[in-house]
Structure 1
Amino acid sequence: MDYRTPAGVVTGLDDVTLRVPAGGITVFAGPSGSGKSTLLRVLGLFERPARGTLRFDGVDTATLRHSGRRALRRDRLGQVFQNPPENLLDYLSVADNLRAAAQSARRCCDPDEILGQLGLEGTGEWQVSALSGGQQQRLAFGCALARGSSVILADEPTSQLDEASADLVLGTLRYLAEREFAVLVASHDDRLIALGSRVARLRDGRLEGVERR
């Protein structure tokens, strides 16, 4: 993955070969600038690799037009950003955020069922601003469930949270892993890394190795 800068072309990722399983938590770990977030954007189909191949369920994504990539993101991929408010529509209630997420993927959902699964019972009529940061991140993962996403990508989902709020997010990740969702997380949070069934460690845009647990 290359980026053009005033100083010239910078390579964000180089020679990364990785197979991501269809279930469990895969953590991309490494220091700042190691390529974690770039790799997540490539896997989420927000960026096209300058070289190499990215396959999703055997399909070479390079052969997809913009509409095909957009449809794949809509129907199969859920994205959770590190800043909780960026994941949600603050002018909608908690339940309506879930309904809107489902509608964006042309689906229906039962908000009460999803909220119950995530430990957010009774918050359906609340405004998003009434939730703590950890609850907002839980709701963001709930929106991915409402869309029917089979793959959920999260970029540093605990980095903006205090310890208690981060605990809520870690609990949600455990829940998703137990139900065989494919969760791909970029993080340097040691507690989150410990949850990973696979940990891919990156440095300077290169893959140093993959730990399987």
Structure 2
Amino acid sequence: MGEHVLRLREVGVEYRTPAGAVTAVSDVTLDVPATGMTVLAGPSGSGKSTLLRVLSLVERPTRGGVELRGMGTARLSSAARRALRRRDIALVFQNPGDNLVGHLDVGDNLRAAAQAAGRVAPVDELLERLGLPGTATWKVSAMSGGQQQRLAFGCALARQATVVLADEPTSQLDATSADLVLETLADLARGGVPVVVASHDPRLIALADTRFDLRNGALAA
């Protein structure tokens, strides 16, 4: 995939409001390495979550371009962008429950994630790697927030995603659960899966191989 899995070039994001245009991201250019953990750091309102949505192809930038594995995405149709996301990108939200299918058990969540990408999930192997052995038949609702979040990253592994992106994955967890999620993220990055995280958690930022600091929608000098 080359040296970089994702690249942004002069990306800007503006929203229209009754009071006028609001700039969320301003002229951001950056390269996400194809290995290790990249952290988008900054306080609330700095633009890091918006930038993560742009990187994950969930949101089109107002201007500028996004490349995934060297391929430009600006001219892709909405259907083509969805297909690319399904095949290559896993996005984990900060609320653990938003990442999983609540009426399915743990094993079926992994199988469904793999099937969506045309894969077959090695359920027991994945659960062992996640530190969740023996939970395949558990209902998602019976899991703690930290367990749910680790399972969400397991779904990314089941899909064999090219890159995993996570928005504030520890923000709604207690310290013990957050530590376990940090271990999972570090394991993913060590295992060759590039990980991009938006966070202001100092423990997570300390794990970064590459760090970009955002302030008021722009990269800090």
TM-score (norm 1): 0.96
- Residue by residue over 1:148-183, the C-alpha shift from the partner in whole angstroms, topping out at 9 and shown as x without a partner, is 101001000000000001011000011001112110
The alignment partner of 1:19 has SS state of: strand
Question: Which letter maps to 2:150?
Answer: R
The alignment partner of 1:96 has SS state of: helix
The alignment partner of 1:13 has SS state of: strand
Q: CA deviation at 1:186?
A: 0.4
Counterpart pick for 2:212 among 167, 187, 200: 200
- Residue by residue over 1:54-108, the C-alpha shift from the partner in whole angstroms, topping out at 9 and shown as x without a partner, is 1111111012111211111000000100000110111111000000111111211
Number of positions where the alignment pairs a residue of Structure 1 with one of Structure 2: 209
Question: Which letter maps to 1:76?
Answer: D
How big is the alpha-carbon RMSD for the aligned residues of Structure 1 and Structure 2?
A: 0.8
Cα distance in 2 between the residues matched to 1:58 and 1:155: 23
Matches within 5 A, 1:13-24: 13-24=25-36
- Residue by residue over 1:89-134, the C-alpha shift from the partner in whole angstroms, topping out at 9 and shown as x without a partner, is 1111100000011111121111111101111100001111111111
The alignment partner of 1:157 has SS state of: coil
Counterpart pick for 2:178 among 158, 166, 179: 166
Equivalent residue, structure 1, for 2:202: 190
Cα distance in 2 between the residues matched to 1:65 and 1:6: 29
Gaps of 5+ in 2: 1-12
2:162 counterpart of 1:155: no
Cα distance in 2 between the residues matched to 1:171 and 1:207: 27
The alignment partner of 1:17 has SS state of: strand
2:44 counterpart of 1:32: yes
Matches within 5 A, 1:1-213: 1-209=13-221
Q: CA deviation at 1:42?
A: 0.2
Question: Which letter maps to 2:21?
Answer: V
Cα distance in 1 between the residues matched to 2:120 and 2:83: 17
Gaps of 5+ in 1: none
Cα distance in 2 between the residues matched to 1:202 and 1:169: 23
Cα distance in 2 between the residues matched to 1:31 and 1:5: 23
Q: Higher strand proportion, which one?
A: 2
Cα distance in 1 between the residues matched to 2:186 and 2:32: 18
TM-score (norm 2): 0.93
